[in-house]
Structure 1
């Protein structure tokens, strides 16, 4: 008895699990005009700038990214964390080869230097296409797995728009994806991935995997999770999770990342192979049955503007025209002028547009000063065929250095730096002109140049479903099955997608009294069109 007591007293306390974490995020639109170099990750494009080592903590603190959720949850579990590297860039065309090799090598070297480890968490996107590596995340996970060996648990969180590949599934012990679009649950997903990683620490236990690829493409404008069919798909998916199916993901994918494995996927993990297969097959069957519901209608720019103007006459909230075709959050350069011309041409009043990225005109406005009238050729600098600058006289109403905090549920407190910005006015239309691009996903992006978006009759945003952003998902009060509150906006939403034009509104969103419209600008390539991708060569999927 005495010996046993002494042995117990002298035993060293259990060591805290030692977990390395990092992030490397990019959403690649292979049709876009501009590629991402190292400078794009240093700048961040609305997300935290490139950070290494201990600086990662400050970079992701209280920001809506997966790594933030990891840090909060890992601290609660008492883990020893080893920060490595975290970076993200605004979506664009391919990640340049030099940037990909530089950043991925730095990430892998930092993880290798931290060995031995009890686990690794990675904050990834899932739709990165790099020069030389069309499956950017597959290569990332492959190299990390090679560095840590087969036995160290490796879990990654992914964007809902990720294009999952077999290499990604094989290299990671689990892939855990967002469940909201707009993405208000990025930090929450990092927490969910961390909770799953905790199951694997200190044990050889690994769940069975099931992976299903869906043979059609879903336009991002129809992937909003507050609308059907995604609302039902995600509700049913959450209900399938249980002890024998601890994590299950449906990723609608990012159709503009044009490579062989582009498209929607389902990834399931189960106590047995049968458990994983049944869960994956159930969700995949629901997605396959929903194909027609994802194939929506669109408006031409003038039709959409006229409809918005008519609706605005009796509306108590702004009518939102969501310009998907030039969404910088999907790789656009945010400088096409088709929708701006339509608003001006049709005499829209109390209308605001954000963002138009044109550093030359922003600099011209700053040189002229507030109150000046300038003649400028605005926008259309990215070279989209058929698009030309809007040449006109503009009144300079407000100026800004472009530095502010975006407190809304999407960016979640991210510190923004859009460079020199200006509010310009032409007739009844105000335009936010910025020097750097970021998706128009926070009202602060209007307010930083003195435009109050809630007081406008019409706002035209370079985003896909910003007009119906749910309130932020909370790590503290989520119950595991409900990932967003109902949309709080009852405004009307119009989206611009590069597909055929139509004048019919799409189905109403649950929880909102507004209708949704989509506008088409034929100058943009058809990167977001819906159609089956099986037996279709990647080069022809346009």
Structure 2
């Protein structure tokens, strides 16, 4: 049995005006051939696929992998070059029994609204109708008809914060093998679309109604009523006219009744998906009186680099300055000019720094202040997790500046923004601050929930705002929640079931 593996991963924020170039992928390395088998950290979807295939003595054909952090639409040439490389390697390996591919699922390019659907369609045309295609996807994937038509299996993460990358890759590979080993008992994927999106900060699988929905679906698997399921909350900053949130089930027999039950439960939760957003001024005042010995976490989700924003907003720093606050705070943001100046100034010296809005000046404004250069770093650190534990991030040259009681981490990149090691590795212990700002939506909860005194969502500017009604959507269908009310008649069941 011969199965190819590959990966193309990027989450797109349509409101980020800067296209994502090849350089965004170079940060994480371009892997080809045997590099796919050697370079994993043991916790990715690709690693999960490899482990399952190796355990089953499958001949693995490693092709190519490109992975980038969330950003604006991918430059069309990047996708084209990836396909040229992938198609060449797939052609050389034909015939193939299967292809296992790691995708994000919500990827837009400057030329296409459905990059993942395009790739699956091209792979299908190349390998033929008898080869099994199985993909791992983010929980925030945008499931399109093109994706459903060309892949037998689409497996989404079951956790948010995402901590089951490996397990999801394992599920995708296992379903592929099960289909190949038991052709007389084929598994079928069934899907219902829901025309809705929700702020990513408004739900989690750690607790609450969305968590209960996932547990309910897991019981169906435990009771062997279905082989697998995925519940996709479409990435809310993807402004495209195709796809939507979705519920998928995989089973040998007809699972339509269970699928419809899950879809109805999902639909009925829509009004619970909202964020309690408070002003930064209010949060700072609360933090100033924080004497718990644990940090209050200010969530700057609108500028989340995990959600495709630029991570360069200094709005929180601006408010600390405006309020003349003495709060002991830890902040982080991307600002290459401030980093360069810090290295020129030197450790232990003070200078006048202009910080923020160095990438996207349309979303926020820079702040100019006198700051002390506390430390300088190469920006290479390892995440402690639990999400992506062991992942090595490269921020580029990084500096820690001190202004009053506030420590500011400035770097060329902002990766792993919800991991405690972003601060700890650079000499900023989160537990020693009254307030810690995180530029992420929900991923931080896996790390910060056990150590935080409180977690408060902030009303800040950015391309990943939780207030979806304020964003300039142009491509969504007219009946799409929360922009219009929907009901059960808006649930769509594709005619084609695999």
Does the pair score TM above 0.5? yes
Q: Match of 2:235?
A: 254
Task: Report the equivalent of 1:263.
Answer: 244
Superposition deviation, residue 285 in structure 1: 0.6
- Unaligned stretches of 5+ in structure 2? 485-498
Q: Distance in 2 between matches of 1:523 and 1:61?
A: 32
1:7 is aligned to: none
Tell me whether 1:54 sits opposite 2:38 in the alignment.
no
How far, CA to CA, are the matches of 1:29 and 1:122 in structure 2? Answer: 22
Which residue of 2 is the match for residue 433 of structure 1?
410
Q: Give the conservation status (yes or no) of the 8 Å contact 2:5–2:63.
A: yes
Asked if the contact 1:34/1:333 (under 8 Å) is kept, the reply is: no
Deviations 1:266-310 (A, max 9, x none): 1112213x31x2222111111111111102321122122223333
1:330 to 307, 323, 334: 307
1:68-116 deviations in Å (ceiling 9; x for gaps): 1111222222222111111111111100011110012212222222122
**Contact 2:352 2:369 (C-alpha < 8 Å) held by counterparts:** yes
> Relative to structure 2, which stretch is displaced further, 69-78 or 339-348?
339-348
Identify the match of residue 192 of structure 2 among 205, 212, 215: 212
Distance 2:404 2:103 in 1: 44
Quick one: distance in 2 between partners of 1:18 and 1:523? 46
CA distance in 1, matches of 2:455, 2:35: 39
Kindly tell me the number of residue pairs found equivalent between the two proteins.
476
Aligned position for 1:535: 478
Contact 2:303 2:462 in 1 (8 A): no
Alignment of 1:147-296 (within 5 A): 147-204=126-183, 205-241=185-221, 242-272=223-253, 274-275=254-255, 277-296=256-275
Verify: 1:492 aligned to 2:431, yes or no. no
8 Å contact 2:335–2:355 — kept in the other structure? yes
**Contact 1:156/1:174 (<8 A) preserved:** yes
Question: Over aligned residue pairs, what C-alpha RMSD do you find?
Answer: 2.2
Distance change (3 Å), C-alpha of 1:525 and 1:111: closer
Secondary structure of 2:62 counterpart: strand
Distance 1:95 1:131 in 2: 6
Q: Partner of 2:277: helix, strand, or coil?
A: coil
In 2, are the aligned partners of 1:35 and 1:92 still within 8 Å (CA)? Answer: yes
**Where does the alignment leave 5 or more consecutive residues of structure 1 unmatched?**
1-16, 472-486, 495-517
| Helix, strand or coil at the partner of 1:201 | helix
Q: TM-score, normalization: structure 2?
A: 0.90
Shift of residue 386, structure 1, vs aligned partner? 5.8
2:343 is matched with: 366
Q: C-alpha distance in 2, partners of 1:447/1:257?
A: 33
The structure 1 residue matched to 2:330, chosen from 330, 337, 352, is 352
TM-score, with structure 1 as normaliser = 0.83
- The answer to whether the Cα contact below 8 Å between 2:296 and 2:452 also exists between their aligned partners in 1 is no
Alpha-carbon distance in structure 2 between the residues aligned to 1:65 and 1:95: 22
Deviation at 1:537, TM superposition (A): 8.4
Asked if the contact 1:467/1:491 (under 8 Å) is kept, the reply is no
